[in-house]
């Protein structure tokens, strides 16, 4: 029965415990990832018919890929805090002698992980279903852009998810808030990947978009980290 | 507390706006390409600038509320964002009119500033629904403040991102300022001052009005006992303490 | 001389415009049990949640285990055990996984988990998902969670609900030892465990006395007013 230790010394173990719990839950239920993947594949089919094209390249390909990713992300964001809200998880966490910002970091990591897994399936599917030119050489650069964007989406998604979960109209608020905030990421991502997907052969990645993504990630990361605590207290 | 100097401010606003109007119609030159309709620029741009500053002010007061917990700051944040949203509708409408007159379409995606503004507007349009969906007053104020802070930070970031992406068809203020003849510059300056004064007046008016309502309600409560005399759900801040 | 478990003075808490607690003051010595009674909506759960550092007091002073809330809440959390209406368990995870998660959050090792499971009688169901357990067993799992880190103060909201009398008797000793705040709708059972009695009515203290001089009838009268 020793007195509780000062929370900050156990930040990483706390984050680790939270992440492992969420990944374990997802592995047990497989709800979120399955929904994300199926929804994205369906979206590709919709695009095929809506655009009446079998093969996309350049700007159009870039746009379709990013929009699909965005919608799948919004799905995941809506689910991110659901177990906490429904099964009293917030209380369980709030009662623990831990730094509360660990929840923010943990949830952002989980969301980022979901997005990465989604992209591992989505990008090949996209290459097969809709993309005209091959991916080959452009792949590393595509991966870099996706990773940077994932971090930004994860940060914003965690923040919006946490705001939304305490409101009455949770399923409405989350997409409404998330979309405008993610649009700049979408713009940067789409502009960055458009030259990579050109029919005539991939062109080099315009570096400034990576800078924009990194800047956005950094600013929002710090901001979200700073305000998250206020969302949990009562 | 909030209504001090309201009369003087209103008079100043009326005066400035009238002057601006006069200047726009009689002093500022007609644009060679776009003709008379270009003068809507003197409404559209000042409105946009003041609205955006208003959003950032809302974020600033949100931050203050989070740090100090003074409900008056929450009220100020709410009023700032609320007024900026109203101005925002004006910005989008006047922008649309200008686009139609100048380029033949009701909306053009080529102007980064207009598109950025739309995105910011869409974000802040969620402010009141968000507030409305949280019942507990204190939590409502806290969450709204977090939102205001995030939104306020979003404004510059968003503009930067969109500007990088689009072509520069929309005349940017910086470059326009260099080539603006003196008469245009003066009119524009007066227009901005007028719009800012209008915002300040409406701001002070709304704060004073809400404060009066709260005090009345508090008095009623004290006279009638501890009864609940509040509307059950509301997006606006309801109390000052 | 051990610090008192609780020292509360003029505690107030509201939700919107409704006052849930008004002018509550009391002191609970170390290791003692406070039974809290009251009608629905009287403020019992609110009081418990404030003591658990889940809610912030709006006025007055609250000291739990010698620490002032909300400022020093972080320092005292690890010494509290909370059992509310929600078991605070993830339904798709097994009992053991839930306890392991809880242990990690509290910075204690897994060593005590097996023993805690045996004590509440869930040794054989430890690796079943919580959603497959009956309500009584879920309650036992929740009790295991609340006591795993050996808290100095237990905050219990109807701990014997969902348990049959035999089960309640098996569990009761586990909850003895530390100081306790115990909410119960069963007046007799609550009084039996209590050292001190608090009855709330509309958020205010209707009765505050040592348990020795109080019987069920007097409590009932205080609650109803």
Tell me which residues of chain A, numbers 57 to 86, contact chain C at a CB-CB cutoff of 8 Å.
83
pTM: 0.87
Quick check: B30 pLDDT over 80? no
| pLDDT tens readout for residues B161-195 | 777 766 433 444 444 444 567 777 888 888 888 89
Domain ranges across chain A: 11-231
Q: Does A92 lie at the interface with C, CB-CB under 8 angstroms?
A: yes
**What does the pLDDT average to over B45-69?**
93
Instruction: Tell me which of C53, C92, C149 to substitute to probe the interface with A (most A C-beta atoms closer than 10 Å).
Output: C92
Those residues with Cβ within 8 angstroms of residue B71's Cβ, 6 or more apart along the chain or in another chain: B65, B141, B237, B239, B240, B241
**Residue of C79 and B215 predicted with greater confidence:** C79
Least confident residue range of A204-218, B10-24, B44-58: B10-24
Cβ contact C78–A93 (<8 Å): no
Residue A230 has pLDDT above 70, yes or no: yes
Q: Predicted confidence band at A90 (pLDDT cuts at 50, 70, 90)?
A: confident
**What pLDDT sits at residue A4?**
38
In the prediction, which pLDDT does C81 show?
93
pLDDT beneath 50, residues of chain C: none
Helix ranges (DSSP H) in B69-111: 71-103
Please count the other Cβ atoms lying within 10 Å of the Cβ belonging to residue A203: 13
Judged by CB atoms closer than 8 Å, whether chains meet at B123 and A177 is answered as: yes
Chain C contact for A124 (CB, 8 A cutoff): no
Q: Give the neighbours of chain B: at least 3 Cβ pairs within 8 Å.
A: A, C
* ipTM for the whole complex: 0.87
When CB atoms are compared, the residue of B126, B134, B165 closest to A177 is B126
Q: Report chain B residues whose CB lies below 8 A from the CB of A163.
A: 130, 143, 146-147
Say if the Cβ atoms of A230 and B135 lie within 8 Å: no
Return the higher-pLDDT residue of A153 and B24: A153
- pLDDT more than 90, % of chain B: 29
A interface test, pick of B164, B167, B232, B233 with most A CB neighbours within 10 Å: B164
Q: Which residue in the set C76, C82, C92 is minimally distant from A28, CB to CB?
A: C92
* DSSP states along B177-220: HHH--HHHHHHHHHHHHHHHHHHHHHHHHHHHHHHHHHHHHHHH
**Cα–Cα distance, B37 to B51 (Å, whole number):** 22
Tens of pLDDT, residue by residue over A16-57, are: 999 999 999 999 988 899 999 999 999 999 998 898 887 888
Which tokens hold the place of A27? 């592995």
Tokens 């805090």 sit at which residue? A81
Which is nearest to A65 in space by CA: A51, A81, A76, A79? A51
Q: Which of residues 16-55 of C touch B (CB under 8 A)?
A: 16-19
Q: What is the pLDDT of residue B211?
A: 86
Residue ranges per structural domain of chain B: 39-167+184-214
Q: What is the pLDDT of residue A5?
A: 41
Residue B234 has what pLDDT?
Answer: 75
Range from A96-110, B105-119, C40-54 carrying the lowest mean pLDDT: B105-119
CA–CA dist C37, C184 (Å, integer)? 6
pLDDT at B241 over 60: no
The whole-number pLDDT of residue B166 equals: 61
Subunits that touch chain A (at least 3 Cβ pairs < 8 angstroms)?
A: B, C
Q: Examine the pLDDT at B147 and tell me if it is beyond 80.
A: yes
Q: If you ran DSSP here, which 8-state letter would residue C13 be given?
A: E
Confidence of residue A140 (pLDDT cuts 50, 70, 90): confident
Q: Is B118 on the interface with A (CB under 8 A)?
A: no
Dist. CA B40–CA B44, nearest whole Å: 6
C71 touches chain B (CB under 8 A): no
Q: What is the mean pLDDT of residues B47-60?
A: 94
**A207 exposure class (CB count in 10 Å sphere: 0-12, 13-18, 19+):** exposed
The pLDDT score that the predictor gives to residue B240 is 64
pLDDT of residue C51: 94
Q: What is the pLDDT of residue C110?
A: 87
């Amino acid at each position: 029965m020793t007195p509780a230790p000062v929370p900050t010394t156990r930040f990483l173990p706390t984050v680790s415990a939270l992440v492992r719990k969420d990944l374990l839950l997802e592995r047990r239920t497989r709800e979120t990832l399955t929904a994300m993947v199926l929804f994205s594949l369906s979206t590709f089919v919709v695009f095929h018919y809506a655009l009446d094209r079998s093969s996309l390249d350049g700007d159009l390909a870039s746009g379709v890929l990013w929009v699909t990713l965005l919608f799948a992300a919004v799905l995941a964001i809506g689910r991110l805090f659901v177990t906490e809200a429904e099964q009293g998880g917030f209380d369980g966490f709030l009662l623990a002698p831990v730094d509360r910002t660990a929840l923010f970091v943990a949830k952002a990591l989980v969301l980022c992980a979901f997005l990465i897994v989604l992209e591992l399936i989505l990008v090949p599917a996209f290459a097969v279903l809709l993309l005209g030119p091959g991916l080959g050489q452009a792949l590393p650069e595509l991966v870099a852009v996706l990773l940077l964007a994932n971090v930004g989406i994860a940060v914003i998604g965690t923040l919006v998810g946490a705001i939304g979960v305490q409101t009455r109209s949770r399923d409405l608020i989350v997409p409404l808030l998330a979309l405008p905030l993610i649009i700049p990421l979408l713009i940067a991502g789409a502009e960055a990947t458009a030259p990579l997907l050109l029919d005539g052969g991939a062109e080099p990645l315009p570096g400034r978009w990576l800078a924009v993504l990194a800047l956005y990630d950094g600013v929002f990361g710090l901001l979200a980290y700073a305000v998250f605590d206020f969302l949990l207290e009562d | 507390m909030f209504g001090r100097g309201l009369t003087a401010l209103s008079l100043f606003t009326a005066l400035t706006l009238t002057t601006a109007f006069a200047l726009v119609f009689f002093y500022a030159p007609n644009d060679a390409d776009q003709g008379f309709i270009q003068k809507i620029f003197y409404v559209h741009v000042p409105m946009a600038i003041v609205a955006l500053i208003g959003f950032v002010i809302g974020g600033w007061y949100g931050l203050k509320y989070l740090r100090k917990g003074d409900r008056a700051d929450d009220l100020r944040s709410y009023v700032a964002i609320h007024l900026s949203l109203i101005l925002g509708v004006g910005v989008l409408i006047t922008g649309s009119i200008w686009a139609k007159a100048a380029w033949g379409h009701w909306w053009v995606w080529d102007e980064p500033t207009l598109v950025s503004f739309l995105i910011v507007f869409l974000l802040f349009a969620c402010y009141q629904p968000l507030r409305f969906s949280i019942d507990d007053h204190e939590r409502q104020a806290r969450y709204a403040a977090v939102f205001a802070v995030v939104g306020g930070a979003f404004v510059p970031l968003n503009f930067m991102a969109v500007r990088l992406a689009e072509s520069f068809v929309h005349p940017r203020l910086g470059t326009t300022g260099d080539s603006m003849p003196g008469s245009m510059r003066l009119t524009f300056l007066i227009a901005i001052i007028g719009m800012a004064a209008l915002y300040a007046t409406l701001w002070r008016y709304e704060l004073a009005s809400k404060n009066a309502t709260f005090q009345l309600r508090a008095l009623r409560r004290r006279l009638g006992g501890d009864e609940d005399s509040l509307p059950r759900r509301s997006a606006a801040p309801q109390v000052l303490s | 001389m051990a610090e008192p478990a609780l020292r509360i003075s003029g505690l107030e808490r509201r939700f919107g415009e409704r006052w849930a607690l008004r002018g509550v003051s009391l002191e609970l010595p170390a290791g003692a049990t406070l039974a809290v009674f009251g009608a629905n909506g009287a403020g019992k759960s609110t009081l418990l949640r404030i003591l658990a550092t889940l809610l912030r007091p709006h006025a007055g002073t609250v000291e739990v285990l010698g620490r002032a809330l909300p400022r020093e809440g972080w320092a005292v959390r690890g010494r509290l055990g909370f059992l509310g209406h929600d078991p605070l368990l993830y339904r798709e995870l097994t009992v053991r996984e839930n306890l392991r998660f809880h242990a990690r959050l509290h910075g204690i090792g897994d060593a005590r988990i097996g023993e805690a499971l045996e004590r509440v009688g869930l040794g054989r169901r430890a690796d079943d998902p919580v959603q497959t357990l009956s309500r009584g067993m879920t309650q036992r799992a929740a009790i295991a969670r609340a006591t795993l880190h050996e808290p100095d103060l237990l905050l219990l909201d109807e701990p014997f609900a969902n348990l049959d009398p035999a089960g309640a008797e098996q569990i009761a000793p586990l909850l003895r030892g530390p100081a306790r705040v115990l909410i119960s709708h069963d007046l007799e059972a609550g009084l039996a465990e209590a050292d001190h009695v608090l009855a709330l009515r509309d958020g205010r203290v209707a009765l505050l006395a040592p348990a020795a001089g109080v019987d069920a009838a007097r409590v009932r009268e205080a609650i109803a007013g």
